[in-house]
C-alpha cells in the first residue's frame, strides 16, 4: 500500500473491528460511531466513489472467511480504487487547469484559483478542500495561496502611495537577529519576536511609498555566537521578486543595523541589558541623524528626511524608542509583545517565587517602568488582539480602557480633555508570507511513491529525524512547536496525551522544543521543563509515540508542518497565555486544524479562521478531548482545514503593512513649521511641535497671554465683584478674572497678535535664532536689579568679538515679568534686541524681541505655550480655581450677611433698651 499510508491506516482500523476483539482492543471508530458498517464507511467516507462494481467487490471481499484471502482481495481492490482515483483526479486536474487558465486571463490573474475550482471537485475530494490546481496555470502544478484578500483594492492603495518616500525605524534590542537562518528557540530571547520584527522590516521595505526601513538591534561579537551577528549592517532581501520596487535607490530597502553597546564580546540575556540602554540610544541617535542627512541628499533635495515613526518592540526597545522620540521629535509607536505586569501576576499566581525573587530574576520592576514610559511616550500602541488591550494593558497606570473611550469621545466632539492623554490602541494581527506555501496532503498529486515507514530519497531530512522516534509513523501527528518554557505548558500536553489511551492508539505526539546540544548547557528554566517532559514520557511509557528532536533549522519548520498535514494531524498551542500565536497562522496556512489556548490571541485568530477548537490550558482532560475529537472525526478535520485555508489571506503581510502604514499616516509630524518650511508660509497654531497627539485640536488647551496679563478695554473691571448682583453674575465675573489672570490676554488681543505674525512671516520664523552658531542662556536671578545688570554686562564683555559678529546669541531666563525685564534693560542702557529670547515668569512665558518695537516690543511664542500646556490639565486647574474662589466668595458673603443680621439685632436691642430706660425715667 505504498503511497497510500493514511488510507491504509483506516483499512487497518476497519479490519480490527470484529466480535472476537475485547473492549480494550476494540476499534476507536466503533466506539465513537456506535453501530458501524465498515463497507458503508469505506465507500462513502474513505473513498467517496459510488461505483457499483467496486461496492460488490468490497462486499465479496468482506464476506470471505479466510483472513489471508480476504486481506489479499482487499489489498488488490484498494489498488484498483487507488489507481482509479488517481486517474480521475488527473483528468479533473487537467480540465480544471484549462478552465482556470481562461478564467485567469479574463480576470488578469487576480482571483483566487482554489475557490474558483471548488465546484469541479468530486464528492470525495471535497473532504480535501485544496486541489492541486495551479493558481497561475501554465506549467506550474500546485496551488499557491493568495497573498491578499483583494488584489484590486491593494493596487488602488498602492497607486495612492506612489510619490511618498518614507523612512521608518524599528527597534528590537535583545536576542540574536539576522535575516536568514534565524536560530529561533536557541534561548528565551530568540523567539517569535525576532521572526516578527525581521519579517515586518522586510515586508515594509517592499511596500509602495516606503523608501527605507532600519531595524536597530544589538551588535554581538561573542565567540559563542555566529560571526554574522557582529556585522554592522545586513540588507534584507525581499521574499518575492514581484514585490513593489519602483522606488529603488542608493539606500532604499530594508536593513538590519547593529549598534554596539554593552559587553563587547559577550552575549547576555535581556534582563542584563538595562544598564546599557543609554549607550544604545546614543549609538542609535547618531545613526538616525547620519542616515536622515544621507537620505536628504538622495531624495530630500538637500533637506534631512527624518523617520515618520520610531517603533519599539518589547519593553527595552520601548524605553529606547521613547528617548529617541523625544530627542528627535518624531512620533513613537510601541508593541509590547509580552507585558511585565501580566507576567508578574502569572508568576505570583504560580506561587513558586516571591515578589523579590521574581524581580531579582526577571528585573520585572525595571521592565514595568520602561513599559509605563513607552506607554506615555507613544502615539499608537499596536496589539495583536483585543484581549491584550482589555486584560493586559489595563493593568498599567498609563492606560484605562473605559477612560480611553471617554477621551476619544471627547476628542470626536472637540471637547477639552483637560490634559489627559492615552495612546491609541490599534489591533493589527501579525502577517505572514503565503506565496511560497503549498498545502500538502497525503494523497496530493506529485507526492513521491514512498511511505512514512520508508521515506523517499527526496523527502526532507527533518522527516526522517522525526519519524525515527515512532513505532508506527503512519498515525496522525499531534504537533507542538514551542521552546521549553514553563509558560508554554508543554508538560500539561504530555500529561493529557499520556493519560488518554484512545488518543495514544490513534495518534503520535511531536514536540519541537527549540535546539539543544546538551541538557546541561541549557538555561536552568528550559532544562527543568525538558527534564519534566522526559520524566513524563518515561512515567506513561510513551516511547515510540513521542518525538522530541534535538535540532532543526528555521527552513525545516514548513516541512514539519507539511509532515503533520500529510498524516492528517493537528497543531496544538497549549500555552497558559499566548499574546498572539504566530505558529497558529503558520499551521493554518499549511492546512492543519488547531487546538489552542483560550487565553490571549488565539481567541481572535479562531474567530477569523474558525479552523479548530479552544481549550482551557489548565484542564488536561479538555486538551485530550479536543485533540481526540479532531483526530478521530474526519469530517470535522476536513472542515477545519478548509476554513483555515479559505481565510488565511486575512493575515498576509501586505494586509498587515497596509493597515500599519495607514496608522502611521495618522500620526502628526512634530517638527515646527518654522524649522520644516523654507517658503515663508503661514505657521498654523494647530501644528504645534509639542502637541504630538494628532486628534486633540482643542484650542482651549492653549494659553492666551500678553505683557503681564494686560487685558482688552472691556476687561478692566473684571476683578471687581458686584455684591448686589446674583450668584451667577458673581461667578461669571470671577471666572473671567481668573481666566484673564491665568491666560493673560483676551481673545481680541490674541487675534491681533496672530494677524501681525501672519502679516510678517519673518517674525514668526525668528531669524536671529537660526543665524546663531552658539546660544548662551543666562539664568541668573539676583536680590537687586543692579546685580543682575552687572552679571549680564560681564557676560557680554566676555563674548567680545563673537557677539559683535553675530555668531553668538543670548537668551535671558529669569523669574521677572516681561515688563520688569523691559524696565531693567532700559535702566541699564541695554537694547531689547541684545537678547534673542526672553524666558520670564519662571519659565511660564517665552518672548522674542519684535521686528517692529515701536508698535509692540515683544512677540509671544504661541508654540511654546501650546507645548507647556501639552498633557497638563491647565484648563481643569483653572476651573478648579474658579470653583474654589467662588466658594470662598460665597462663604464671605454668608458671613457678612450673618454679621449684618447680628449687627441689626444688636442695634435693635440697644434701641429697645434705650427706650425702656427712657420710659422708666
Name the least confident of 17-21, 38-42, 521-525, 618-622.
17-21
- Nearest CA to 135 out of 352, 351, 434, 358 is that of 434
Query: 3-state DSSP helix/strand/coil percent for the chain, to nearest 5?
Result: 50, 10, 35
Q: What b/e readout covers 178-194, taking b as 16+ CB neighbours within 10 angstroms?
A: bbeebbbbbbbbbbbbb
Q: What b/e readout covers 863-872, taking b as 16+ CB neighbours within 10 angstroms?
A: bbbbbbbbbe
Distance, CA of 688 to CA of 157 (rounded, Å): 30
C-alpha cell at 278: 543609554
- If one compares 324 and 77, the residue with the highest pLDDT of the two is 324
- If one compares 36 and 187, the residue with the highest pLDDT of the two is 187
For residue 911, the model assigns a pLDDT of 74
Angle at 750 between CA 745 and CA 751, to 5 degrees: 150
The secondary structure of residue 47, as a DSSP letter, is I
| 653 has a pLDDT exceeding 50 | yes
Sheet order of strands, 546-547 included: 546-547, 508-512, 477-481, 570-573, 594-597, 612-615
Mean pLDDT of 207-216: 93
| 882 has a pLDDT exceeding 70 | yes
- If one compares 132 and 732, the residue with the highest pLDDT of the two is 732
Distance, CA of 39 to CA of 8 (rounded, Å): 15
For residue 692, the model assigns a pLDDT of 34
- Residue 176 — very low, low, confident or very high, per pLDDT cuts 50/70/90? very high
Map residue 204 onto helix, strand or coil: helix
Mean pLDDT of 745-760: 45
- Residue 918 — very low, low, confident or very high, per pLDDT cuts 50/70/90? confident
- Residue 275 — very low, low, confident or very high, per pLDDT cuts 50/70/90? very high
For residue 491, the model assigns a pLDDT of 94
Distance, CA of 900 to CA of 104 (rounded, Å): 96
Q: Could you tell me if 149 and 122 are in contact, meaning their C-beta atoms sit under 8 angstroms apart?
A: no
- If one compares 622 and 908, the residue with the highest pLDDT of the two is 622
- If one compares 407 and 370, the residue with the highest pLDDT of the two is 370
Q: Could you tell me if 287 and 261 are in contact, meaning their C-beta atoms sit under 8 angstroms apart?
A: no
C-alpha cell at 182: 534565524
Q: Could you tell me if 337 and 579 are in contact, meaning their C-beta atoms sit under 8 angstroms apart?
A: yes
Distance, CA of 102 to CA of 393 (rounded, Å): 51
- Residue 889 — very low, low, confident or very high, per pLDDT cuts 50/70/90? confident
Distance, CA of 174 to CA of 316 (rounded, Å): 8
- If one compares 7 and 637, the residue with the highest pLDDT of the two is 637
**CA count, 13 A, side-chain hemisphere, 546:** 25
Q: What is the residue-wise DSSP string for 526-591? A: HHHHHHHHHHHHHHTT-TTTEE--S---GGGHHHHHHHHHHTT-EEEE--S-BSS-HHHHHHHHTT
CB atoms within 10 A of CB 324: 24
Map residue 317 onto helix, strand or coil: helix
Q: What is the pLDDT of residues 489-498, one digit of tens each?
A: 999 999 999 9
- If one compares 25 and 185, the residue with the highest pLDDT of the two is 185
| 323 has a pLDDT exceeding 60 | yes
Strand ranges, E, within 84-156: none
C-alpha cell at 797: 564683555
Mean pLDDT of 257-284: 94
651: left (phi over 0), alpha (psi -120 to 50) or beta: alpha
Angstrom CA distances, 626 to 313, 355, 614, stand at: 34, 36, 8
Alpha carbon distance, N-terminus to C-terminus of the chain: 142
- Nearest CA to 334 out of 285, 279, 371 is that of 371
Map residue 480 onto helix, strand or coil: strand
Q: How many residues does the chain have?
A: 921
The secondary structure of residue 392, as a DSSP letter, is I
What is the pLDDT of the chain when averaged over all its residues?
A: 76
For residue 254, the model assigns a pLDDT of 94
Angle at 625 between CA 620 and CA 628, to 5 degrees: 125
**CA count, 13 A, side-chain hemisphere, 92:** 18
Q: What is the pLDDT of residues 395-423, one digit of tens each?
A: 999 898 888 888 888 888 887 776 678 89
Distance, CA of 198 to CA of 182 (rounded, Å): 10
Amino acid at each position: 500500500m505504498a503511497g497510500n499510508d493514511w488510507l491504509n491506516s483506516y483499512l487497518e482500523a476497519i479490519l480490527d473491528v470484529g466480535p472476537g476483539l475485547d473492549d480494550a482492543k476494540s476499534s476507536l471508530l466503533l466506539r465513537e460511531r456506535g453501530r458501524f458498517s465498515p463497507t458503508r464507511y469505506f465507500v462513502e467516507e474513505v473513498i467517496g466513489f459510488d461505483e457499483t462494481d467496486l461496492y460488490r467487490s468490497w462486499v465479496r471481499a468482506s464476506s470471505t472467511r479466510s483472513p489471508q484471502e480476504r486481506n489479499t482481495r482487499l489489498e488488490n481492490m484498494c489498488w484498483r480504487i487507488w489507481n482509479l482515483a488517481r486517474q480521475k483526479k488527473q483528468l479533473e486536474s487537467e480540465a480544471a487547469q484549462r478552465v482556470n487558465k481562461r478564467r485567469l486571463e479574463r480576470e488578469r490573474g487576480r482571483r483566487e484559483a482554489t475557490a474558483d475550482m471548488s465546484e469541479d471537485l468530486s464528492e470525495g475530494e471535497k473532504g480535501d478542500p485544496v486541489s492541486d490546481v495551479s493558481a497561475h496555470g501554465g506549467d506550474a502544478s500546485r496551488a499557491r495561496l493568495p497573498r491578499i484578500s483583494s488584489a484590486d483594492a491593494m493596487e488602488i492603495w498602492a497607486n495612492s502611495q506612489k510619490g511618498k518616500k518614507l523612512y521608518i525605524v524599528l527597534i528590537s534590542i535583545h536576542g540574536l537577529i539576522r535575516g536568514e537562518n534565524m536560530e529561533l528557540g536557541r534561548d528565551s530571547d530568540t523567539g517569535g519576536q525576532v521572526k516578527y520584527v525581521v519579517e515586518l522590516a522586510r515586508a515594509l521595505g517592499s511596500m509602495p511609498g516606503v523608501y527605507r526601513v532600519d531595524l536597530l538591534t544589538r551588535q554581538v561579537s561573542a565567540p559563542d555566537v555566529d560571526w554574522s551577528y557582529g556585522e554592522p549592517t545586513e540588507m534584507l532581501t525581499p521574499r518575492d521578486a514581484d514585490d513593489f520596487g519602483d522606488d529603488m535607490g542608493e539606500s532604499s530597502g530594508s536593513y538590519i543595523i547593529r549598534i554596539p553597546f554593552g559587553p563587547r564580546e559577550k552575549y547576555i540575556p535581556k534582563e542584563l541589558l538595562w544598564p546599557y540602554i543609554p549607550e544604545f540610544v546614543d549609538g542609535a541617535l547618531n545613526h538616525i541623524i547620519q542616515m536622515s542627512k544621507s537620505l536628504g541628499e538622495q531624495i530630500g533635495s538637500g533637506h534631512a528626511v527624518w523617520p515618520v515613526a520610531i517603533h519599539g518592540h518589547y519593553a527595552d526597545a520601548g524605553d529606547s524608542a521613547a528617548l529617541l522620540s523625544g530627542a528627535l521629535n518624531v512620533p513613537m509607536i510601541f508593541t509590547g509583545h509580552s507585558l511585565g505586569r501580566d507576567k508578574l501576576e502569572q508568576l505570583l499566581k504560580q506561587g513558586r517565587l516571591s515578589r523579590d525573587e521574581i524581580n531579582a530574576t526577571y528585573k520585572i520592576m525595571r521592565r514595568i517602568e520602561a513599559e509605563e514610559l513607552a506607554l506615555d511616550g507613544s502615539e499608537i500602541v499596536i496589539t495583536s488582539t483585543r484581549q491584550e488591550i482589555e486584560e493586559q494593558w489595563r493593568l498599567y497606570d498609563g492606560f484605562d480602557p473605559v477612560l480611553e473611550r471617554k477621551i476619544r469621545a471627547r476628542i470626536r466632539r472637540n471637547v477639552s480633555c483637560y490634559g489627559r492623554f492615552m495612546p491609541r490602541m490599534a489591533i493589527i494581527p501579525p502577517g505572514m508570507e503565503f506565496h511560497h506555501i503549498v498545502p500538502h496532503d497525503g494523497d496530493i498529486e506529485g507526492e513521491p511513491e514512498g511511505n512514512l515507514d520508508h521515506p523517499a530519497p527526496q523527502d526532507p531530512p527533518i522527516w526522517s529525524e522525526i519519524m525515527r522516534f515512532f513505532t508506527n509513523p503512519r498515525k496522525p501527528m499531534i504537533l507542538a512547536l514551542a521552546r521549553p518554557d514553563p509558560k508554554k505548558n508543554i508538560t500539561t500536553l504530555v500529561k493529557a496525551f499520556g493519560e488518554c489511551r484512545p488518543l495514544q492508539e490513534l495518534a503520535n505526539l511531536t514536540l519541537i522544543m527549540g535546539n539543544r546540544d546538551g541538557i546541561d548547557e541549557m538555561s536552568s528554566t528550559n532544562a527543568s521543563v525538558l527534564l519534566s517532559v522526559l520524566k513524563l514520557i518515561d512515567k506513561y511509557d510513551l516511547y515510540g509515540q513521542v518525538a522530541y528532536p534535538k535540532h532543526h533549522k528555521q527552513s525545516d519548520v514548513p516541512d514539519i508542518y507539511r509532515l503533520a498535514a500529510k498524516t492528517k494531524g493537528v497543531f496544538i498551542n497549549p500555552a497558559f497565555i499566548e499574546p498572539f500565536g504566530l505558529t497558529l497562522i503558520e499551521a493554518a496556512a499549511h492546512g492543519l486544524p488547531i487546538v489552542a489556548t483560550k487565553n490571549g490571541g488565539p481567541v481572535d485568530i479562531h474567530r477569523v479562521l474558525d479552523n479548530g477548537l479552544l481549550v482551557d490550558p489548565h484542564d488536561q482532560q479538555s486538551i485530550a478531548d479536543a485533540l481526540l475529537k479532531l483526530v478521530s472525526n474526519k469530517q470535522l478535520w476536513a472542515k477545519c482545514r478548509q476554513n483555515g485555508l479559505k481565510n488565511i489571506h486575512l493575515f498576509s503581510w501586505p494586509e498587515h503593512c497596509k493597515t500599519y502604514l495607514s496608522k502611521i499616516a495618522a500620526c502628526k509630524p512634530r517638527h515646527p513649521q518654522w524649522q520644516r518650511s523654507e517658503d515663508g508660509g503661514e505657521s498654523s497654531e494647530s501644528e504645534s511641535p509639542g502637541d504630538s497627539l494628532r486628534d486633540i485640536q482643542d484650542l482651549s488647551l492653549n494659553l492666551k497671554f500678553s505683557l503681564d496679563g494686560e487685558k482688552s478695554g472691556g476687561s478692566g473691571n473684571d476683578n471687581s465683584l458686584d455684591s448686589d448682583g446674583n450668584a451667577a453674575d458673581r461667578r461669571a465675573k470671577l471666572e473671567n478674572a481668573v481666566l484673564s489672570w491665568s491666560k493673560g490676554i483676551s481673545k481680541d488681543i490674541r487675534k491681533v497678535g496672530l494677524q501681525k505674525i501672519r502679516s510678517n512671516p519673518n517674525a514668526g520664523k525668528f531669524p536671529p535664532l537660526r543665524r546663531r552658531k552658539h546660544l548662551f542662556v543666562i539664568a541668573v536671578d539676583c536680590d537687586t536689579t543692579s546685580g543682575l545688570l552687572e552679571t549680564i554686562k560681564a557676560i557680554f564683555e566676555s563674548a567680545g568679538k563673537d557677539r559683535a559678529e553675530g555668531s553668538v546669541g543670548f537668551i535671558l531666563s529669569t523669574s521677572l515679568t516681561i515688563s520688569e525685564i523691559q524696565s531693567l534693560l532700559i535702566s541699564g542702557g541695554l537694547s531689547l534686541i541684545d537678547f534673542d529670547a526672553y524666558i520670564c515668569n519662571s519659565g511660564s512665558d517665552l518672548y522674542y524681541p519684535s521686528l517692529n518695537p515701536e508698535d509692540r516690543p515683544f512677540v509671544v511664542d504661541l508654540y511654546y505655550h501650546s507645548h507647556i500646556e501639552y498633557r497638563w490639565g491647565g484648563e481643569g486647574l483653572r476651573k478648579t480655581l474658579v470653583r474654589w474662589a467662588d466658594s470662598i466668595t460665597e462663604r464671605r458673603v454668608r458671613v457678612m450677611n450673618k454679621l449684618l443680621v447680628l449687627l441689626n439685632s444688636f442695634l435693635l436691642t440697644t434701641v429697645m433698651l434705650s427706650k425702656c430706660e427712657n420710659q422708666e425715667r
